[in-house]
Amino acid sequence: MASESNLPLPKAKHGPKGFFREMKRELKKVTWPTVNETNRLTGVVMTVCFILVAILAGLGYTFETLIRILTKGTV
């Protein structure tokens, strides 16, 4: 049986109260995006999603047609 590890354990900082205090301190360090940056990046994500949906729909239609031609011989 293996002996216990000698890795140091993180120190508890006063339970849940300490956790939320530390979380609040860390969130103050975050650089939040501006409204314009958020809107621009949302547009980028939506555009990429739309492009991927179009590509996958096109591939689905292409493979469906190919399988139909190979199995039934008609389009």
pLDDT tens by residue, 44-68: 999 999 999 999 999 999 999 999 9
Average pLDDT, the chain: 88
Cβ 74 vs Cβ 66: under 8 Å = no
Mean pLDDT of 26-32: 93
Residue 50 lies in a domain: yes
- Binning the chain into helix, strand and coil, the percentages to the nearest 5 are 70, 0, 30
Instruction: Please report whether residue 40 resides in a domain.
Output: no
- For residue 20 the two structure tokens come to 């939320």
Q: Residue 4: its pLDDT value, please?
A: 63
The domain tally of the chain equals 1
Distance CA 21, CA 4 (A): 32
Structural domain of 64: 46-75
pLDDT on residue 10: 66
Tell whether 25 is covered by a domain.
Answer: no
Q: Residues 18-37: what's their mean pLDDT? A: 92
Token pair of 40 as six digits = 């621009």
Rg (CA), the chain: 27
pLDDT category, 7, cuts 50, 70, 90? confident
With respect to residue 53, please indicate whether it lies within any of the assigned structural domains: yes
Does residue 60 fall inside a structural domain?
A: yes
9 lies in some domain: no
Give residues with Cβ within 8 angstroms of 21, minimum separation 6: 13, 14
